[in-house]
Amino acid sequence: MTTTAFFDLDYTLLSTSSGMVYVREIIRQRRAPWWRVGYLGMQYKLKLLDFGQVHGQLISHVGRSGVDQTSNFFDGLAGRYLMPRLSEAGRAKIEWHRQQGHRVVIVSASIEELVKPVAEDLGLGQDYLCTRLAVQEGRYTGRLDGPLCYGPGKVEWVKRWANLNQVNFPGTVGYFYTDSASDLPLLELAKHPVAVNPSRKLAKIAEARGWPIEKFY
């Protein structure tokens, strides 16, 4: 049976939030009015919009010129702000799994435009799961393509990945590394759940359940 090590991205492999980097760069480059970004953030905090709906509305500003024309923005953002924040301990852990013959997959709530370049930098190719923005005729539609890759949505994406790769689910979920208690649905499926740089809530859960706690930065 294939053993897979799944890794969260923000505050796990990265010592930052790719989403926050994205928002700051949107404002800095004036790709969306600051007040619009703030308004969407307020709606999210008030639970009037979910994470996916915020992404959809942001991309309507950021990617209004089309997917191809927006790719340079995302490539520059990832190269300048994300890759330098990749944890060396995280890289070492990925290499350890490779030496064990395990497959390594990123599973992140972030959008593909942010996750894909990081996965490529880590040599993971197409082995990443994330929130995907719907595209039609070369333009973003403002909707999601598939479920939001967050909380139980991560389980759904892993299930789809397992079916596509013809590996057993949930048996293939050998390891899962994350910082957030929102990832409990996938943590509880993993044979080896690991709390990395955990939030206060996840640290308490990990201690109560005897899960290992690691620091990547």
Taking the C-alpha atoms of residue 195 and residue 179, their distance in angstroms, rounded to an integer, is 6
| Residues of the chain above pLDDT 70, percent | 100
The pLDDT value recorded for residue 57 is 87
Indicate the domain borders of the chain.
4-214
Write down the mean pLDDT value for the chain.
94
- Position 45 scores a pLDDT of 84
pTM: 0.94
| β-strands 173-178, 4-7 pairing | parallel
Beta bridge partners of 131: 111
Closest by CA to 153, choosing from 166, 144, 140, is: 144
Helices (H), the chain: 18-28, 34-45, 51-62, 67-77, 88-99, 112-121, 152-164, 184-187, 200-209
Residue bearing tokens 């969306």: 32
Per-residue pLDDT at 48: 84
pLDDT at 165: 95
**Secondary structure (3-state) at 102:** coil
Q: Are 187 and 178 in contact (CB under 8 A)?
A: yes
Most confident stretch, 19-23, 72-76, 153-157:
153-157
Q: What is the pLDDT of residue 66?
A: 87
DSSP 31: S
Give residue 72's pLDDT.
92
Statement: residue 41 has pLDDT above 90:
no
Query: Is a pLDDT exceeding 80 seen at residue 37?
Result: yes
Per-residue model confidence as pLDDT tens digits over 169-209: 999 999 999 999 999 999 999 999 999 999 999 999 999 99
Helical pair 112-121 and 18-28, crossing angle rounded to 10 deg: 120
* The pLDDT of residue 51 is above 80: no
CA 13 from chain center: how many Å? Answer: 10
Q: What percent of the chain has pLDDT over 90?
A: 81
- Pairing, β 173-178 against β 139-144: unpaired
Q: Is the pLDDT of residue 155 over 90?
A: yes
CATH of domain 4-214: 3.40.50.1000
Contact between residue 186 and residue 176 where contact means Cβ atoms under 8 Å apart: yes
Q: Is the pLDDT of residue 23 over 80?
A: yes
Helix (H, G, I), strand (E, B) or coil at 174: strand
DSSP secondary structure code for residue 191 in this structure: S
Let me know: does 5 contact 73? Beta carbons within 8 Å. Answer: no
Q: What residue has token string 């060396």?
A: 88
